[in-house]
C-alpha cells in the first residue's frame, strides 16, 4: 500500500514537472518571438528618411500581421513581457507618426521649391552657369510673397534656401567669383528680410 502511494505521488510530481516544463518552454518561445519582433521594429525604423512610400506601406502591413499573431498569444506572456510588447508597439506607432510627418513635410517642401524657384525647382536643371539666376529667382519670389508669411512659412522658405545651398555646394568649384559675390549678397538679403519680419519690419 505504501509502495502504491509512493508511485502515485511520484506520478503526480512527474506530471507537475512536465506541466511546469511545458509552460516554461511555451513562455520562452513566446518571449523569443517578442524579442525577435523588437529587433524587427528597431531595424525597420532605424532609417525612416530613406524609406520609399511603397516600402513603408509594406512595412506597416507586416507590422499589422505580426501584431495580430502576437496579440493572440498574450495570455502566454508574463506581465513583464506584456508590458515590453506593448511598449514595442507604441514605439513603432510613434515612429510611424514621425514618418508620416516627414512625408508631409517633404511634400510641402517640394511645393515651396516650385513656388520659390520656378523652373529651377528641378535639381537636375541647376548648374554652375545658372546657379546665380536660381538665387535671383528665389529672392524675387521671397520679396513678392513675404508680406503674408508667418513663422512656419519662413521656415519652409529656409528649407528651400538650404536645398539651393546644397546644389550650389555641388558645383562650387565651377562658379565664377562674380557669381559667388552676388550669391553671398542674396543669401544675406534673405537673412535680413527674415530678421526684419521677425522684428516687425517690412
Put residue 118 in one of left, alpha, beta given phi > 0 → left and psi -120 to 50 → alpha: left
133 lies in the same domain as 101: no
pLDDT of residue 21: 44
**Integer Cα distance of 198 and 202 in angstroms:** 10
* Residue 19 and residue 70 in one domain: yes
Do 99 and 148 belong together in one domain? no
d(CA 59, CA 56): 5
Q: Does residue 68 fall inside a structural domain? A: yes
pTM comes to 0.59
First CA to last CA across the chain, in angstroms?
105
The Cα–Cα gap between 62 and 54 comes to: 13
Give the number of domains in the chain: 2
Tell me what pLDDT residue 121 has. 92
Residues 130 and 98 in one domain: no
Name the residue range of residue 82's domain: 2-106
> pLDDT per position in the chain (202 positions), as tens?
444 444 555 555 444 544 444 454 666 777 888 889 899 999 998 888 778 888 888 999 999 999 999 898 888 778 888 899 999 999 999 999 988 888 888 888 899 999 999 999 988 888 999 999 999 999 999 999 999 899 999 999 999 999 999 999 988 778 999 999 999 999 999 999 988 754 444 4
Amino acid at each position: 500500500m505504501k509502495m502504491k502511494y509512493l508511485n502515485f505521488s511520484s506520478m503526480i510530481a512527474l506530471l507537475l514537472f512536465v506541466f511546469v516544463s511545458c509552460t516554461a518552454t511555451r513562455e520562452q518561445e513566446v518571449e523569443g518571438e517578442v524579442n525577435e519582433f523588437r529587433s524587427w521594429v528597431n531595424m525597420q525604423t532605424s532609417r525612416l528618411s530613406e524609406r520609399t512610400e511603397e516600402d513603408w506601406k509594406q512595412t506597416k502591413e507586416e507590422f499589422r500581421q505580426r501584431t495580430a499573431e502576437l496579440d493572440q498569444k498574450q495570455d502566454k506572456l508574463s506581465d513583464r513581457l506584456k508590458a515590453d510588447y506593448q511598449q514595442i508597439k507604441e514605439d513603432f506607432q510613434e515612429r510611424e507618426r514621425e514618418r508620416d510627418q516627414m512625408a508631409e513635410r517633404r511634400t510641402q517642401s517640394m511645393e515651396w521649391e516650385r513656388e520659390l524657384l520656378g523652373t529651377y525647382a528641378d535639381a537636375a536643371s541647376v548648374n554652375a552657369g545658372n546657379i546665380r539666376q536660381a538665387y535671383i529667382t528665389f529672392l524675387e519670389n521671397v520679396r513678392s510673397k513675404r508680406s503674408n508669411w508667418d513663422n512656419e512659412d519662413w521656415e519652409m522658405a529656409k528649407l528651400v534656401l538650404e536645398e539651393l545651398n546644397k546644389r550650389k555646394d555641388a558645383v562650387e568649384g565651377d562658379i565664377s567669383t562674380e557669381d559667388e559675390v552676388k550669391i553671398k549678397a542674396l543669401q544675406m538679403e534673405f537673412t535680413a528680410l527674415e530678421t526684419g519680419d521677425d522684428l516687425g519690419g517690412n
